[in-house]
Structure 1
């Protein structure tokens, strides 16, 4: 669109300008013809060396050495705009025709901007070789006009903080809100001149044209919405930026609802216990709750059928056609349905996460969907599944990056992050070291040492409670982070670990430290290490608690 910046200017007239009848040329219409354009003497003027009431003796403004002086038949302009709008069969055609007529009467850059989603879109433009297609609501003065519903006039564009210079120098700019239904703002009509013009003359003209455009848009059913392809692309792009599976699910369900026009989207996922319905918990519906309540068996039957036969949709009220095989769905109020398989459909019993599901969109209204809608939903479903694969791949890579490849335990990076979340008086740190591990490596080789590390890691993990965390933080060094209700509990868990290692034929030394109030994680780790060194120094195969610095068990 032409430069979208516009603003209220300090010299905006509150009344039409005086015009000398002896020097003025009538440019169409009397006060009776166009009340909005009348001056105090009953005619509309555009002088011999002026546009409108611009005094020829007035010096040209910056960048306007060539002042346009053509006569403007404003009655013909408004009549032409009205006729063009009446003949238009669509909103786009109406905007294009109105701009075409306006451009034929003045050498200006002209644009009609209408709201689509979260931005203004240029529906029609003239007077410039290059235009910008979209403008955010919070950008430029055109965005301000749309947001506030107030006209804006600029005689010095550089003085307006919202003005965005995108094209040739502009001397005068007028932007009027396009009225929408119910007193809302339905867009903006923007006109920019490279040379000075009479604002008192042109402001009511621009506002009158904006009003006519708004009336015709309302008569044609309102501003154009996104096309199906635009919706598809917008949602597909949002899938690619989803941070996790939960966000991807939400965006997929929102996309299915917007593209289909139906009220309740769901993803049916199979599993060992049957299928379950994943719903948009941010936009719940009663129909969605009833769908989920059908239970795994019924949802599984429908999922299997939909995946076996492919995408499908309904043709109207089920009472007129019968709904054989879908009675459970119609019994909960489903009157319209579109179903689309999702994913490759591998064996759900072998790996439920890898099995495909079904994208289901339903409604309590009896609507006959456009046959193209299932095709669009198929594309969305395919892209959503691809995005899910991407998230799964990123998750696996992240796990690999944060895990020890030998034992599978997380390493020092995640260990430090966990320590940062420690709770004083509740979080205990167990520093664990395999006794005489270097001797094992020297006598039997590194392969034997690796096997010992793997076996011990499994043993320690199996001994710890659910929720306890084990890390490998060095060659033969492990650390466990546990939550306890009392200090003695940490010592008891350390004892169990030592006993489990003995049953495996190994011995370990353990240092225990309970994080104290106001103690940093680094200091807690230091105290646990000191307790571990004490256990090693006094004979190994023992547990030392940092608080008492006294062995609690073990053989020196």
Structure 2
């Protein structure tokens, strides 16, 4: 007969052993699934082209930063985790005050989703970030304030916006301001001059006999004339002056803070620059002249339109008096 006491101290009966085995297999499956989830999560973090981060507001310590930090900032994440000042040092100097103030606003608002600022990557490249941040509302009273966020590289978007703005405000042929943009800027300068009691002048320039140039040498040569006029304007005008093409062969300039005598000197310098221009076509050489009308701000002027009208009238008077001259009106 089998000794009953030995039987009682042997391995568990089959049902108990099966349950134990099943429990072990289930636990191993859970561990495997957790490992798979961690690997999947890590893969996702590596592939996402945005920096996920967590920040302890009270200790000023970065608790977590995702792998994209290394790619976008060009610096090891370990440096940031060891010292928050590495983030401050990477922010473009002109944007640092805004970046810090907008981060602090999350304490009041709970979320700040419109933060955009520039950073200087390790390679010296300036990049734009959209850095949204949120406060951890699940923290219990007395727990540290944790701010979490996501910073996305929007450099290409900003470059596209800048290019669209340039195209919308620039005359394609001459690369000067177009009419709409010129008068928007001119109106702003007018309002500032009126507000500050400062002088300002308006110059209107029209190419003499431009139709003859087009008819004689062709429109392609006429386009070159317009381009060279624009180059002369950029060379002769002062820093801060406005210059634009406002019509077919008409250009205009605004001289902020410029008294009438100084404005005349600038107009004369531009006149001389244009008179020195020389063009060649089929072994023929020709030059061009311009007629200019100049007006200066007075107490009676209520808008930029009145300055423009006086300059326009003066320019037509210059045409009538023989062209290639400057008349002040």
TM-score of the alignment, normalized to the shorter chain, above 0.5: yes
Alignment partner for residue 317 of structure 2, among 529, 534, 540? 534
Higher relative contact order structure (alpha carbons within 8 Å, sequence separation ≥ 6): 2
5+ residue gaps, structure 2, are 1-49, 63-69, 91-117, 132-145, 279-287
Alignment correspondent of 1:407: 174
Render the CA deviation track for 1:103-123: whole Å, top value 9, x for unaligned.
xxxxxxxxxxxxxxxxxxxxx
Alignment of 1:291-310 (within 5 A): 307=74, 310=76
Contact 1:464/1:493 (CA < 8 Å) preserved in 2?
yes
Partner deviation per Cα, 1:83-129 (whole Å, 9 max, x = no partner): xxxxxxxxxxxxxxxxxxxxxxxxxxxxxxxxxxxxxxxxxxxxxxx
1:524 to 295, 300, 307: 307
Corresponding position of 2:242: 469
Q: Equivalent residues in 2 for 1:388-537 (5 A)?
A: 388-421=155-188, 422=190, 423-424=193-194, 426-505=199-278, 506-519=288-301, 520-537=303-320
Gap change, CA 1:444 and 1:337, over 3 Å in 2: closer
Quote the Cα distance in structure 1 between the aligned partners of 2:56 and 2:122.
Answer: 30
Residues 7-57 of structure 1 show CA distances to partners (whole Å, capped at 9, x for unaligned) of xxxxxxxxxxxxxxxxxxxxxxxxxxxxxxxxxxxxxxxxxxxxxxxxxxx
Contact 1:312/1:338 (<8 A) preserved: no
Q: Displacement of 1:486 after TM fit?
A: 2.4
> How much does 1:394 deviate?
1.5
Report the structure, 1 or 2, having the larger helix content: 2
Structure with bigger gyration radius:
1
SS at match of 1:529: helix
Gap runs ≥5 in structure 1? 1-238, 240-251, 267-302, 317-333, 360-372, 547-556
**Which of these residues, 77, 87, 90, is aligned with residue 311 of structure 1?**
77
Q: Secondary structure at the match of 1:482?
A: strand
Q: State the distance in 2 between where 1:315 and 1:265 align.
A: 7
Contact persistence 1:484–1:490 (CA under 8 A): no
Following superposition, the deviation at residue 346 of structure 1 comes to 9.8
Deviation at 1:345, TM superposition (A): 6.5
Shift of 1:492: 1.1
Number of equivalenced pairs: 212
Secondary structure in structure 2 of the residue aligned to 1:455 = helix
Task: State the alpha-carbon separation in 1 of the partners of residues 85 and 264 from structure 2.
Answer: 62
Pairing of 1:272-351 with structure 2 (within 5 A): 307=74, 310-312=76-78, 334=83, 348=124
2:265 partner SS: helix
**TM-score, scaled to structure 2:** 0.55
Runs of 4+ in structure 1 displaced over 6 angstroms?
A: 335-339, 341-347
Residue 260 of structure 1 pairs with residue 55 of structure 2: yes
Quickly say closer, same or farther: Cα 1:456–1:307, change in 2 above 3 A.
same
With normalisation by structure 1, the TM-score equals: 0.34
Shift in alpha-carbon separation, 1:337–1:452, aligned structure 2, 3 A? closer
User: What is the Cα-based RMSD across aligned positions, in Å?
Assistant: 3.9
Structure 1: distance between partners of 2:296 and 2:242: 15
Compute the displacement of 1:459 (Å): 1.2
Say if 1:313 and 1:338, in contact at 8 Å, map to a contact too.
no
Compare 522-531 and 411-420 and name the one that shifted more.
Answer: 411-420
